[in-house]
């Protein structure tokens, strides 16, 4: 059944989109500030990251941190602290800028000068599917050589583009059962 | 050689077709010679399936048929020749040889063969001695010779053969009849060479037997017992390369090798898993209990590291020996490792075929004054996550053989199907390298091997130094196995009547008593070495 699933989970299968798993893994590889934004240490660190240079201020502005320079200065001086809404914006902007900054390095490591990276695909969870409807779906591994589209759409926060890149470019290399791997429990790779 | 070709093809074209033995004999002959179909096919210039068809009853035609007949007859003659001298041979082989020998004898229409029996009848005088216009290298000594006997350029007088003594070393292949033996076959039967060399005029049979691919040739691939196909000597190669690169500077070479120990260990692991049954799953989903809570923090797994010192020594002064277990982590690589993704289960009894981590309530330990607690120095009460080796140790100790404690209570588990052999080849490769290094007193290799296995274990979890493998469960399990091994050594010492004073870390065991009858001393992984000997204890009344 070489196609996308129409009504995933109808019979109780559980899993996440393969592209979401890839995005999670890329986030994990990108790393970043682990302290939550609600803690003072967390938002201060994010703010410093976003205001280190004029370029990063510009990137933060483009990523949605649309507060005035005066407010930023007040936050940095400790005279004021961001509101709840602004904390969310700060966090979102931080992750967007962080992804953009890491993307180039990550892409280089994943492509490994054309040798690519081995990707493990752990199949979906069928434990809740009635026995007669369960299918044999094996653990698979594959080598992905071209990560450009995947990393670019991940860095741009374009989840639709990432899904297209993963499901239509990469998965068909698994052979005619690639549709079984549209939803997975985990996608593992390292960079 | 080319003139042989021409003559042979001419004769084949003129004469009637060569006779072939029945199909099953063809196959039998080939298998007795340990030639694969592919080898035969290559020599005859056909495909292996064609050879299969011939052995299944089809008959070749034309020139190929002549070649095939020549090959089969040669094989038959080979076995007949083997059977007639003192070499022990089965009656069956003789029967085969005769069956084949009869077939061609019936028709004397074999144009290019001088069968050994017939050639032997010629009594040596039948050798056709040709004088060569251009000297060719002598098959015996390699120097140019002006004559050719039975197709082989050689000196007629043994005195001309300059290097007779070193003949068996020379592996210049005597070019056989060109249509059969591929020219690049270096096998010369060393046993048959000396017969030819002094004679100078070889009997026609001699070169023939020498050129036949004998049993020494590469056998077919499907033998019951094959050479173990271990990994190539990656460790030795790396050490030699590092030493050459640093011009024999041992310290620089060691430093360079230690730096690349982790990638090299991963490469060795890949090499040892070639053709293996199970794939290494390097990035499975990891349950939260195995994830570090903060970047520097620990996860929730209790590895049961022993840290135990006996509260009170028996009265009197004692000589305590601190023993060191060699290569504790290396030995611990043999343990039950979960293969795939860990799956959650609760309330099930322990399954020996699976391994992973378990939430247990440990049993009470009542032997604290003589033996350490098998779950280590745990201060908090209550349930804790332990790994497979610790649970197995507890189950074993609660069994009827030891009956040292109650069985642990397993609440929930994350397990996967397990095998003990996943890292076995890897471990053996490292152990062999270590043993060789100790025997040769090779400090560089020793350090390198040590760095390989210890860093492999310590970085196989969430480490930035090794991103190829992300198995914190394996790391904990291997460490626990080392602790469990140490605990069992302490138990062994206790059972043999020694007084265990301290069990600490992975490899430290302090005992009182004659430990040499319990543990062999040495540097191998099954042996122990003495770290320290000291006197401990209070003044007993015996000395006052």
Q: Do B285 and A34 touch (CB under 8 A)?
A: no
Task: Domain count for chain B, please give it.
Answer: 3
CB contact under 8 A, A122 and B285: yes
- The nearest CA of chain B is from the CA of A32 a distance in Å of 11
Query: Phi and psi of B323, rounded to 5°?
Result: -100, 150
Q: Which of A152, A154, A150, A151 is nearest to A167 (CA)?
A: A150
Is residue B32 in a domain? yes
Out of B211, B228, B254, a domain closes at B211
* Residue B81 shares a structural domain with residue B141: no
Residues B159 and B68 both lie in one domain: no
Q: Whole-angstrom Cα distance, residue A77 to residue A71?
A: 10
CA–CA separation, B21 and B73 (whole Å): 9
From the list B285, B341, B467, the residue facing A191 with the nearest CB is B467
CA–CA separation, B511 vs B513, rounded Å?
6
User: How far, in Å, CA of B420 to CA of B338, rounded?
Assistant: 9
A187 phi and psi, to 5 degrees?
A: -120, 125
Tokens 């005279």 correspond to A79
Answer yes or no: do B74 and B207 share one domain: no
Q: Does residue B281 sit at the A interface (CB-CB below 8 Å)?
A: yes
CA distance linking residue B219 with residue B33, whole number of Å: 8
CB-CB neighbors (< 8 A) of A120 in chain B: 281-284
Containing structural domain, residue B366: 288-422+470-536
Residues of A in contact with B294 (CB under 8 A): 34
Per-residue pLDDT of B438-449, as tens digits, reads 999 999 999 999
CA distance B289 to B376: 20
Say how far apart CA B352 and CA B494 lie, in whole Å: 28
- Strands B499-504 and B307-309, by their bridges, are antiparallel
pLDDT at A27: 93
Average pLDDT value for residue range A124-128: 92
Interchain contact, B285 vs A120, CB within 8 Å: no
HSE of B358, CA atoms in CB hemisphere, 13 A: 28
Largest CA distance in chain B: 115
Within-domain flag for B372: yes
Quick check: B330 and B524 in contact, CB under 8 A? no
In a domain, B170, yes or no: yes
Residue B395's contacts (CB-CB under 8 Å, 6 or more residues apart) are B350, B407, B408
Tell me, yes or no, whether B399 and B493 share the same domain: yes
Whether A185 and B295 lie within 8 Å, measured CB to CB:
no
Q: Among residues B216, B205, B177, which one has the least CA distance to residue B85?
A: B205
Q: Is the dihedral of CA A130, A132, A137, A138 positive or negative?
A: positive
Where in B51-94 does DSSP place strands (E)? none
Cα–Cα distance for residue pair B383/B358, rounded to 1 Å: 10
Residues of B in contact with A139 (CB under 8 A): 279, 281, 340-341
Tokens 């009460």 correspond to what residue? B381
pLDDT in tens, A63-117: 999 999 999 999 999 999 999 999 999 999 999 999 999 999 999 999 999 999 9
Chain A contact set for B279 (CB, 8 A): 139, 141
Mean pLDDT of B16-40: 83
Q: Is the pLDDT of residue B435 over 70?
A: yes
Does any domain span residue B463? no
Tell me what percent of the residues of chain B surpass a pLDDT of 90: 46
Q: Does residue B27 share a domain with residue B144? A: no
In terms of CA atoms, which chain A residue is nearest residue B284?
Answer: A188
Q: Interface of chain A against chain B, CB under 8 Å?
A: 34, 118, 120, 122, 139, 141, 185-186, 188-191
Contacts of B412 (CB under 8 A, 6+ apart): B344, B345, B346, B347, B358, B359
Say if residue B178 is in the same domain as residue B98. Answer: no
Q: Which two tokens stand for residue A185?
A: 């429990």
Residues in chain B with CB shorter than 8 Å from the CB of A190 are 282-283, 467-468, 470
User: Phi and psi at residue B211, in whole multiples of 5°?
Assistant: -90, -15
The answer to whether residue B120 sits within a structural domain is: no
- Give the residues across from B529 on adjacent strands: B324
Give the pLDDT score at B143: 67
DSSP designation for B517 = G
Residue B153 reports pLDDT greater than 90: no
Distance CA B190, CA B195 (A): 10
Each domain of chain A, given as residue ranges in start order, spans 16-30+113-188, 40-109
Lookup: tokens for A91? 């966090």
Contacts of A34 in chain B (CB under 8 A): 294-295
Residue B223 lies in a domain: no
Instruction: Give me the pLDDT at residue B407, please.
Output: 94
pLDDT on residue B192: 41
DSSP-assigned letter for residue B230? P
Who among A122, A141, A186 is closest to B279 (CB)? A141
How far is Cα of residue A33 from the mean position of the Cα atoms in its chain? 15
For residues B189 and B214, the answer to whether their CB atoms sit within 8 Å is yes
- DSSP letters of B278-335? S----S----GGGS-SSSSS--SEE----EEE-SSPPSS-EEEEEEEETTHHHHHTSS
Residue B130, pLDDT score: 63
Contacts 24+ apart (CB under 8 A), A94-98: A94/A32, A94/A33, A94/A37, A94/A46, A94/A49, A94/A50, A95/A27, A95/A32, A96/A63, A96/A64, A96/A157, A97/A49, A97/A50, A97/A56, A97/A59, A97/A60, A97/A63, A98/A30, A98/A32, A98/A49
For helices B62-83 and B37-44, give the axis angle rounded to 10 degrees.
130
Total CB pairs under 8 A between chain A and B: 35
Residue B448 DSSP class: H
Nearest-Cα distance to chain B for A122, in Å, is 7
Which residue out of A186, A187, A191 would a mutagenesis test of the B interface target, given it has the greatest number of B Cβ atoms within 10 Å? A186
pLDDT at B177: 44
Name the minimum distance, in Å, from the CA of B472 to any CA of chain A. 14
For residue A118, the chain B residue with the least C-alpha distance is: B468
Domain assignment of residue B68, yes or no: yes
What does the pLDDT read at residue B107?
A: 41
pLDDT > 60? residue B217: no
Write out the E strands in B2-83.
Answer: none
CB–CB contact A34 B340 (8 Å)? no
Cα–Cα distance between B92 and B77 in angstroms, integer?
14
Q: Do A139 and B467 touch (CB under 8 A)?
A: no
Q: In A, which residues are within 8 Å of B340 by CB distance?
A: 122, 139
Least confident residue range of A151-160, B22-31, B352-361, B414-423: B22-31
The minimal CB distance from A120 to the residues B282, B294, B467 is found for B282
Q: How far apart (Å, rounded) are the C-alpha atoms in residues B320 and B502?
A: 10
Same domain for B64 and B190? no
Residue B450, pLDDT above cutoff 50: yes
**Could you count the other beta carbons within 10 Å of the beta carbon of residue A27?**
15
Decide if B439 is inside a domain: no
pLDDT for B88 beyond 60: no
Claim to verify: residue B88 and residue B133 sit in the same structural domain: no
Return the minimum-mean-pLDDT range out of A111-120, B14-23, B257-266, B504-513: B14-23
Q: What pTM did the predictor assign?
A: 0.66
Cβ neighbours of A51 (radius 10 Å)? 17
Quick check: B97 pLDDT over 60?
no
Q: What is the mean pLDDT of residues B496-521?
A: 93
pLDDT bin (cut points 50, 70, 90) of residue B90 is very low
CB A124 within 8 A of CB A74: no
Model pLDDT, residue B16 = 67
Exposure of B300 in the CB half-sphere (CA atoms within 13 A):
15
**Separation between Cα atoms, residue B305 and residue B507, nearest integer Å:** 11
How far, in Å, are B41, B154, B189, B519 from residue B169 at the CA level? 30, 17, 11, 49
Among residues B505, B527, B507, which one has the least CA distance to residue B516? B527
CB B210, CB B152: distance < 8 Å: no
What is the β-pairing status of strands A16-17 and A183-188? antiparallel
């Amino acid at each position: 059944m070489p196609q996308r699933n129409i009504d995933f989970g109808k019979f109780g299968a559980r899993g996440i989109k393969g592209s979401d798993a890839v995005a999670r893994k890329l986030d994990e590889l990108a790393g970043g500030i682990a302290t939550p934004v609600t803690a003072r240490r967390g938002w201060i660190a994010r703010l410093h990251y976003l205001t280190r240079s004029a370029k990063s201020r510009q990137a933060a502005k483009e990523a949605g941190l649309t507060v005035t320079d005066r407010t930023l200065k007040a936050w940095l001086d400790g005279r004021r602290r961001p509101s709840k809404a602004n904390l969310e914006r700060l966090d979102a902007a931080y992750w967007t800028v962080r992804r953009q900054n890491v993307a180039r390095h990550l892409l280089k490591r994943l492509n490994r000068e054309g040798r690519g990276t081995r990707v493990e695909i752990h199949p979906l969870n069928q434990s809740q599917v009635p026995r007669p409807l369960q299918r044999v779906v094996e653990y698979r591994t594959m080598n992905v050589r071209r990560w450009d589209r995947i990393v670019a759409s991940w860095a741009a926060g374009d989840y639709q583009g990432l899904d297209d890149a993963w499901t239509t470019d990469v998965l068909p290399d698994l052979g005619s059962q690639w549709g079984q791997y549209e939803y997975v429990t985990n996608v593992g790779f390292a960079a | 050689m080319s003139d042989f070709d021409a003559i042979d093809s001419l004769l084949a074209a003129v004469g009637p077709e060569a006779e072939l033995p029945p199909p099953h004999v063809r196959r039998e002959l080939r298998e007795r010679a340990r030639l694969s179909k592919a080898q035969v096919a290559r020599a005859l210039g056909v495909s292996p399936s064609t050879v299969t068809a011939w052995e299944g009853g089809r008959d070749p035609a034309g020139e190929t048929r002549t070649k095939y007949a020549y090959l089969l007859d040669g094989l038959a003659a080979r076995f007949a020749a083997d059977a007639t001298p003192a070499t022990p041979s089965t009656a069956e082989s003789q029967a085969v040889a005769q069956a084949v020998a009869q077939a061609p004898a019936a028709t004397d229409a074999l144009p290019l063969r001088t069968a050994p029996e017939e050639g032997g009848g010629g009594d040596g005088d039948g050798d056709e001695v040709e004088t060569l216009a251009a000297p060719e290298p002598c098959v015996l000594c390699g120097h140019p010779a002006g004559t050719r006997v039975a197709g082989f350029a050689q000196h007629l007088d043994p005195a001309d053969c300059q290097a007779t003594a070193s003949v068996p070393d020379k592996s210049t292949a005597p070019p056989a009849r060109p249509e059969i033996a591929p020219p690049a076959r270096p096998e010369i039967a060393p046993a048959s060479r000396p017969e030819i060399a002094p004679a100078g005029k070889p009997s026609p049979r001699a070169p023939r037997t020498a050129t036949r691919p004998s049993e020494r040739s590469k056998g077919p691939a499907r033998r019951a017992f094959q050479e173990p196909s271990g990994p190539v000597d990656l460790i030795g190669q790396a050490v030699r390369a590092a030493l050459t690169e640093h011009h024999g500077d041992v310290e620089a070479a060691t430093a360079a090798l230690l730096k690349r120990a982790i990638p090299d260990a991963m490469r060795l692991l890949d090499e040892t898993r070639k053709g293996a049954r199970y794939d290494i799953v390097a990035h499975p989903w990891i349950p939260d209990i195995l994830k570090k809570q903060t970047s520097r923090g620990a996860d929730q797994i209790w590895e049961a590291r022993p840290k135990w010192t006996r509260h009170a020594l028996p009265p009197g002064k004692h000589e305590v020996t601190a023993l060191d277990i060699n290569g504790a982590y290396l030995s611990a690589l043999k343990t039950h490792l979960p293969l795939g993704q860990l799956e959650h289960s609760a309330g099930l009894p322990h399954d020996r075929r699976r391994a992973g981590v378990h939430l247990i309530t440990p049993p009470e330990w009542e032997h604290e004054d003589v033996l350490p607690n098998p779950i280590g120095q745990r201060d908090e009460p209550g349930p804790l996550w332990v790994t497979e080796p610790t649970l197995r140790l507890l189950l074993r100790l609660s069994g009827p053989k030891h009956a040292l404690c109650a069985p642990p209570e397993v609440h929930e588990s994350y397990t996967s199907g397990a095998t003990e052999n996943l890292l076995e080849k890897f471990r053996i490769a490292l152990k062999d390298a270590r043993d060789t290094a100790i025997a040769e007193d090779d400090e560089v290799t020793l350090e390198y091997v040590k760095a390989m296995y210890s860093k492999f274990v310590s970085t196989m979890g969430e480490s930035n130094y090794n991103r190829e493998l992300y198995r914190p469960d394996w790391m904990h399990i291997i460490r626990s196995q080392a602790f469990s091994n140490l605990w069992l050594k302490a138990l062994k010492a206790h059972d043999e009547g020694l007084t265990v004073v301290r069990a600490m870390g992975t490899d430290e065991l302090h005992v009182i008593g004659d430990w040499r009858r319990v543990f062999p001393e040495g540097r191998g992984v099954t042996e122990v070495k003495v770290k320290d000997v000291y006197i401990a204890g209070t003044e007993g009344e015996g000395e006052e």
